[in-house]
Amino acid sequence: MTPWSRASIRVRLTTWYTAVLCLMLVVYATATFVAVRHEFFEQLDDQLHDDFETAEGLLAPAADGRIVWSGDRRHDPDNDEDRGTDVWSASGEQIYRSGASASLPPAAVAATTAQVRYESIIADSQHWRTLTGTSLVGRAVVLRVSRSEERLRGQLWEVLIVLVLGLPLVVVLAGVGGYVLARRALAPIDHLASEARRITADRLHERLSVPNQHDEIGRLAGVINETLARLESSFDQLRRFTADASHELRTPLSVIRGIGEAGLAETRTTAEYKEVMGSMLEEVDRLTNLVDTLLRLSHGDAGTVRLSRQAVDLGQLTRDVVSSLGVLAEERQQRLTVNAVDDVSVTADRLVLREAITNIVDNAIKYSPQASTIDIRVHAEANRAVLSVADHGPGIAREHRERIFDRFFRLDAARSRDDGGTGLGLAIARWAVEANGGQVSVDDGPNGGAIFRIVLPLDAPILSNVPPHATTTIGGHS
């Protein structure tokens, strides 16, 4: 991990911001300096051009052949220390000079054409700007006007100092400002982090405060709160599950212990011992069954169950289940009717789906009164296959309809346990159906009682409902 990635967002933001600002300011300052310099030199060149024209107009040949300043003395640059005028004859002999241009080298007369020429010259460590051109002062001469660049350079230097000194100052001020702003903007995140740190596993009911749910931090706090709510409910479920599982495991163990103690309390005949051991084994079976179911559910949760999915005829599978459970219904003089459309094919793991149907039909038998009817229907609707099991039992109150599929949830624990129920049948059924891409739900039955529905994606969607093909009835009372 680099020190950069270890730095806080605040520091990284400020650094980025300052670096970008610095770059922008350097570009801006450079552009400003170049523009100002260009403007200054343009002004100087304009002044030289004016000087040139003035000199052309006011220099005239004297009677003795010399060139003299004939015009207004105000324009004579003779007394100026920062400008000068020089004239050379065509043969290169200097014939006039005034002002402070003495230190300047003579103009290269031969090279001078009719074109005027601007030049920057350094003489005696002084910068000069000159304008040289040919002119007619009585005769053809070379005229050069010059102005010192020193003042202009001084001004440019001042501009440069302002820019160079101002730049770090602005950057430092902006950096400090940026840091303070970033700190203020990110302070709620620090606050959020310290609040979140406070919420440990045993304080999962607490929530983060959301000062403004519309801004980014408010939305983040909202998402964390939703996650906390889900965590809390998972923790609750886990706690309930552990408590319920221990309770369920303890019951058969205490029964085994009770039977064993009662068996040992007095001397018995071999037949009596066999009976005691038989009862104990029954409880052991119950225990084994419970542990197996729990293990399967936990494999289901972990997603380690390998499903072998294939085309399954739902009607056929339902008839198989009903015929194997028929004996239970017969014991209770119940009538199981199966109304199944042919060729309702779904892609599912046959054994897993069979278990779901078995658990639901088994419940219908267990919780319906004796000599009642249980109607099982299999049909297809658009792109779904629907299996429904309707009984005439007590039904399931609306408030329990979701929880009934939870592990160990029972409406009447004593009765269910007496009937051999573990409270896991519907949990397994839900897992089995969902693992096959379907859904299971419960509703009020058409004739009272409950109706459980398993809905699965249909292999070949149909366009209209096909009438039931076969009705099977098992058991019954006369």
Do residues 378 and 268 touch, judged by C-beta distance below 8 A? Answer: no
Of 167 and 411, nearer to ligand ADP (C-beta) is 411
CB of 444 to ligand ADP, least distance (A): 11
Of 182 and 404, nearer to ligand ADP (C-beta) is 404
Cα separations in angstroms, 282 against 252, 278, 296, 383: 9, 6, 21, 45
The two structure tokens encoding residue 260: 């064993």
Of 18 and 339, nearer to ligand ADP (C-beta) is 339
The two structure tokens encoding residue 302: 């972990």
Q: Which stretch binds ligand ADP (CB under 6 A): 81-89, 130-138, 171-179, 356-364?
A: 356-364
Cα separations in angstroms, 22 against 5, 25, 34, 174: 22, 5, 18, 9
Cα separations in angstroms, 221 against 10, 58, 182, 230, 386: 19, 85, 19, 14, 42
Of 244 and 349, nearer to ligand ADP (C-beta) is 244
Long-range pairs for 112-120: beta carbons < 8 A, 24 or more residues apart: 112/142, 116/49, 116/52, 118/45, 118/48, 120/149
388 lies in the binding site for ligand ADP (CB under 6 A): no
Do residues 423 and 407 touch, judged by C-beta distance below 8 A? Answer: yes
Q: Which residue has the tokens 């950057």?
A: 171
CB of 214 to ligand ADP, least distance (A): 44
Options 378, 396, 433, 454; binder of ligand ADP; rule CB under 6 A: 396
Number of residues that bind ligand ADP (CB under 6 A): 22
174 lies in the binding site for ligand ADP (CB under 6 A): no
353: buried, middle or exposed (CB in 10 Å: 19+, 13-18, 0-12)? buried
Do residues 171 and 21 touch, judged by C-beta distance below 8 A? Answer: yes
Of 107 and 290, nearer to ligand ADP (C-beta) is 290
Nearest to 99 by CA among 119, 121, 75, 118: 75
Give the span between the Cα atoms of 216 and 39, in whole angstroms.
49
226: buried, middle or exposed (CB in 10 Å: 19+, 13-18, 0-12)? exposed
CB of 364 to ligand ADP, least distance (A): 5
Helix (H) or strand (E) holding 302: helix 270-302
Q: Which stretch binds ligand ADP (CB under 6 A): 1-9, 148-156, 350-358, 392-400?
A: 392-400
188 lies in the binding site for ligand ADP (CB under 6 A): no
455 lies in the binding site for ligand ADP (CB under 6 A): no
CB of 408 to ligand ADP, least distance (A): 8
Of 56 and 444, nearer to ligand ADP (C-beta) is 444
CB of 395 to ligand ADP, least distance (A): 6
375 lies in the binding site for ligand ADP (CB under 6 A): no
Helix (H) or strand (E) holding 286: helix 270-302
270-289 residues near ligand ADP, rule: CB under 6 A? none
409-448 residues near ligand ADP, rule: CB under 6 A? 409-412, 416, 421-427
Of 46 and 292, nearer to ligand ADP (C-beta) is 292
404 lies in the binding site for ligand ADP (CB under 6 A): yes
CB of 427 to ligand ADP, least distance (A): 6
290 lies in the binding site for ligand ADP (CB under 6 A): no
293 lies in the binding site for ligand ADP (CB under 6 A): no
User: Interior CA angle at 149 toward 152 and 82, to 5°?
Assistant: 110
Of 237 and 310, nearer to ligand ADP (C-beta) is 237
Do residues 259 and 280 touch, judged by C-beta distance below 8 A? Answer: yes
Of 129 and 410, nearer to ligand ADP (C-beta) is 410
CB of 407 to ligand ADP, least distance (A): 8
Of 95 and 294, nearer to ligand ADP (C-beta) is 294
Enumerate binding residues for ligand ADP (CB under 6 A). Answer: 359, 363-364, 367, 391, 393-394, 396, 404, 409-412, 416, 421-427, 450
